[in-house]
Amino acid sequence: MKWGVRLTVLLGGTLSAVAVAGEPLPQPVGDASLRSISRHTVQIPARFNVPLDSVCPDQAAALRAAFPQGLPLGVGSGLRWVRQAGHAQIFLGVTDRGPNAEVPDDFAYRQKVFPAPAYAPSLAWLRVDKHGARVTQLVPLKSADGVPHTGLPLPVGSLGSTNEHALDACLNPLPPSAKANGLDPEGVAVDAQGKVWIADEYGPFLVRFDPQTGRELDRAAPADGLPALLRYRQPNRGFEGLAVADGKVYAVLQSPLAQIPDPHHPDEAAARSQRATPRFIRLVEYDPLTRTSRTFAYPQDAAEQQPVQGADGVYANASDAKIGDLVGLGKGRFVLIEQGKGADKRLRTVLYRIDLRHATPIDALTVDGKPLEFVPDRATLRAAGVRFIAKTRLLDLQDYGWQQERTEGLALVGRDTLVLTNDNDFGLTSNARDFAVFPRHAPVDARRYRLTPSAPEEQQTALWLLRFKRPL
């Protein structure tokens, strides 16, 4: 399949129509001029659910009673349009690291339950037509030697480790991913050769795969093609958005870097950078031919100065802003999802059109000999030579009835249609925060721990097509 040719031809002009006609909007709503919205719930055949065949014995009965068909699959952690097939649109999605859940507060530090530890993160093919949206095929991701990747945390001390420890559903320790084989996909894109790139949240890594076999072909890591400073991503907030455009791979972190050592006091933990300080999030441009990269500063919707509760900021804390995904428009222009709860405690899911053409690479810039994450205001950053990525607000999905909290897939169809999906977290939650079952500061009785389905609307993967009146 020569995806590169098909992508170039189809994206060169505007599609005549979206596959499923959306209800007309009588007038522009909010900040954007929309022609129509099509709303779908992705249909996932039961055969694609995550099996519970490796559950610890003490939890087997309870889990199978709660999830008789296995755990619901989650395919919305990334999205990319691939081609048009007759009256249907074909998309490529990706799952994240797999089913996981919280543990009681007083049990252990940085531990997570993985009820299906053998689960392999996967590519997911989606078809959208007059019958709706549905998953048609899964391709598990594998390492270069053909061993399936897992979503288990990387060993503590290895590059990309989040210092998490995996537990089974009975709260027993699980071994970390073998050979550092853990992967947490959070973005997907297709290059001109038809190969698939994955943005990983652990490393953060950029990993290239063969879409037919799912086998890993190449990988870029901090200090190996990517800026070494990226190792200071916040745990579980590595790369979140991904795009391939103009021959380059673009990846954006979910949130600002944190805990960067102070060069003047490298051994003092208290002197490290704090996650609430930076007024920007790093976006990386990676050239796979030369294995080199550049970094740009995206200004999230946070106050210019601390304290961040001021009227000039949307978020009460600069790190509350989370990037959802990224899609390329060409010539240095992209659309990006910025989301999170604002200072008013209301969820916002804002689409921005961004432009890198006049932004300055910040890799070599420092202030007082320190990385820019130590600087709490944009005026100082501008004085140091930082020209931020330009951004233009398109709309807030919450104004149109979007209710999902984790909007993590964003694709472009033609020149005027954006497609969005959410991450349903495999429809899983736990009773870890039920303080009647697990009183604070009391020993945890693992026999009372239960994994349960999340709310019905949160189990679903929504897919929306937003058609604009003008090309993006």
Give the pLDDT confidence score for residue 310 in this predicted structure. 59
Cα 417 to chain centroid, rounded: 21
pLDDT band at 300; cut points 50, 70, 90: very high
In this prediction the pTM is 0.92
Calculate the average pLDDT of the chain.
90
* Of 25, 19, 130, the residue nearest 469 (C-alpha): 25
The answer to whether residue 431 scores a pLDDT higher than 50 is yes
Q: How far is CA 95 from the centre of its chain?
A: 10
pLDDT surpassing 70 at residue 318: yes
Strand ordering across the sheet containing 206-209: 185-190, 196-200, 206-209, 216-222, 225-226
SS (H, E, C) the chain: CCHHHHHHHHHCCCCCCCCCCCEECCCCECCECEEEEEEEECECCHHHCECCCCCCHHHHHHHHHHCCCCECCCCECEEEEEEEECCEEEEEEECCCCCCECCCCCCCCCEEECCCCCCCCEEEEEEEECCEEEEEEEEECECCCCCECECCCCCCCCCCCCCCEEECCCCCECCCCHHHCECCEEEEEECCCCCEEEEECCCCCEEEECCCCCEEEEEEEECEEECHHHHHCCCCCCEEEEEEECCEEEEEECCCCCCCCECCECCCHHHCCCCCCCCCEEEEEEECCCCEEEEEEECCCECCCCCCCCCCCCECCHHHCEEEEEEEEECCEEEEEEEEECCCCCEEEEEEEEECCCCCCCCCCCECCECHHHCCCHHHHHHCCCCCCEEEEEEEHHHHCCCCCCEEEEEEECCCEEEEEECCHHHEEECCCCCCCCCCCCCCCHHHCCEEECCHHHHCCEEEEEEECCCC
Q: Calculate mean pLDDT across residues 421-447.
A: 93
Q: Measure the CA–CA gap between 446 and 167, rounded to whole angstroms.
A: 11
- For range 388-417, the mean pLDDT: 95
Type of residue numbered 307: P
With contact defined as beta carbons under 8 Å apart, do 30 and 396 qualify?
Answer: yes
pLDDT at 458 > cutoff 80: yes
Q: Is the pLDDT of residue 438 over 70?
A: yes
- What is the predicted pLDDT for the residue at 180? 73
Q: Which residue has the tokens 């199978």?
A: 64
What mean pLDDT comes out for the span 434-451? 92
Calculate ∠ Cα 138-142-145, nearest 5°.
150
pLDDT at 435: 93
Q: Which of 17-21, 157-161, 202-206, 400-404 has the highest mean pLDDT?
A: 202-206
Residue 30: pLDDT over 70: no
Q: Give 31's pLDDT tier (boundaries 50, 70, 90).
A: low
Task: Kindly state the average pLDDT of the residues 25-49.
Answer: 80
Share of the chain above pLDDT 70, in %: 92
Picking from 149-153, 222-226, 341-345, 409-413, which range would have the lowest pLDDT averaged per residue?
Answer: 341-345
**Residue 27, pLDDT score:** 44
Asked if pLDDT for residue 10 goes beyond 60, the answer is no
Could you report the per-residue pLDDT of 63-95, keeping only the tens digit for each? Answer: 999 999 999 999 999 999 999 999 999 999 999
Whole-number percent of the chain with pLDDT over 90: 81
Dihedral pair phi/psi, residue 62, rounded to 5°:
-65, -40
* Cβ neighbours around 224 below 10 Å, total: 12
Each residue's pLDDT tens digit, 226-277 = 999 999 999 999 999 999 999 999 999 999 999 999 999 999 999 999 999 9
Q: Can you give the pLDDT at residue 311?
A: 63
pLDDT band at 175 (very low <50, low <70, confident <90, very high): confident
Give pLDDT, residue 363. Answer: 97
pLDDT tens for each residue of 338-382: 999 998 889 999 999 999 999 999 999 999 999 999 999 999 999
Please compute the mean of the pLDDT values over residues 206-224 and round it to a whole number: 97
Residue 106: band (very low, low, confident or very high) from pLDDT cuts 50, 70, 90:
confident
The pLDDT of residue 55: 83
In the block, tokens 């008013």 appear at 344
- Residue 157 CB coordination number (10 Å): 7
* Cβ contact 94:424 at 8 Å: no
Tokens of 435: 């303080």
pLDDT band at 306 (very low <50, low <70, confident <90, very high): low
Distance CA 80, CA 335 (A): 13
- Note the pLDDT tens digit of each residue in 127-146: 999 999 999 999 999 999 99
Read off the pLDDT of each residue in 153-167 and give the average, rounded to a whole number: 92
Q: How far is it, in rounded angstroms, from Cα 131 to Cα 82? A: 19
Can you tell me the distance from the alpha carbon of 402 to that of 388, in angstroms, rounded to the nearest whole number? 29
Lowest mean pLDDT among 183-187, 216-220, 439-443: 439-443
**End-to-end alpha carbon distance in the chain:** 28
Report pLDDT for 121. Answer: 97
428-440: average pLDDT: 93
How many angstroms from the chain centroid is the CA of residue 199?
Answer: 8
- The residue count for the chain: 472
